[in-house]
Structures are given as structure tokens and as C-alpha cells.
Amino acid sequence: VLPCDQFEDVIEAVESGRASHGVLPIENSTGGAINEVYDLLGESRCHIVGETVLPVGQCLMALPGSALSDIRRVYSHPQGLRQCRAFLAAHGLESVPYSDTAAAAEMVAEVGDKSLGAIASRRAAQHYGLSLLAEDINDRKDNFTRFVVVSLTPIAVEGPGKASVAFTVRHESG
């Protein structure tokens, strides 16, 4: 396993040979398409060779001893923040985009400020020693993210399969 901070780092790891495969989120049932990943795939030499769809249950977490009423700012990946807009608005919480959900949880744990929270998974809260203040706060309970597996080597598919097609057009009227 090779953790990467940014989506482009995943592509770079595969293209450089440091990783044989990479996994990238490509769309979420609440937040929609992750256009940055589509753009990166279009510019890279990587091929989509697999996919999986996972349920996502977002949680609000903070330092142990913090209460929801203590929290002022919440950090998470922009997709995580989009998936929890109603909860954030209902509690008057400021949304602050961060590189990814787990990194936001790690930062909250390291900074030690009880006014900061993170939106991430239950596992991230456990890993970084944070307390869960609210669970399953995503706007939709049927919140899923589709991930693609990428590689430099395309695979041959026997029988029915999926195809991904991307194209660009000239940037002009008509």
C-alpha cells in the first residue's frame, strides 16, 4: 500500500512504476462526478482496469472531550463537505476544504484545538484517537462512491464488460 496525498500523486505513482495499480474515486451518489479525476485520467497513460462501489457513512469527529457545541470549523475533502451540507448548515459550522478526509482527521488530532472538527470515516476517528460527535451525517443515507482501479497495462475482458470513453471537442461556438 502506497498512500498518496493528491489524486495526481496516484497517477504519478502508477506511471513511474512505484505502484502497479492505483485506486481513485470517480463519482459519488451525492456529490456527483469528481471532475479532477476525469481530467487526470484523460491526460495520463493509465487505463481503467476495474471498479468497485462502496457505501460511505460520514462522521463528525473532534478531540476527546469536545462537544458539538464547541465546534466552529470542520475540515474534510470537498466531496465529504458536499455530502454533508445539510448537517453543516443546520449546526452553523464553517466548511474548510482539505486534501482528503483522513488527512483532515489527522490534522485535527495533531493541532489539538477543541473548536475544530473533521468529517471522515469511523475508522479515521479510531486511528487518530478522535471522538465521534455525530455519525452518518451525509445528506443521503444511500451515499455511495464509485472507485476505479487504474494501471498502465490494459486488461483483456472475456464476455460482457464495461467500457469508458472520453473525448474532447474544439472550444468554439456551434
- Dihedral sign of CA atoms 89, 93, 95, 101 in order: negative
Phi and psi based region of residue 131 (left: phi greater than 0; alpha: psi -120 to 50; beta: remaining): beta
**How far apart, in whole angstroms, are the C-alpha atoms of residue 103 and residue 97?**
11
Q: Is 168 an annotated catalytic residue?
A: no
Specify the pairing of strand 94-97 against strand 144-151.
unpaired
Q: Is 153 an annotated catalytic residue?
A: no
Q: Which of 7, 30, 101, 145 is catalytic?
A: 145
Number of H helices, E strands in the chain: 6, 9
Angle at 49 between CA 164 and CA 150, to 5 degrees: 95
Pair 147, 90: CB distance under 8 Å: no
C-alpha cell at 93: 459550522
Q: Which of 147, 153, 167, 168 is catalytic?
A: 147
What residues are annotated to the active site?
145, 147
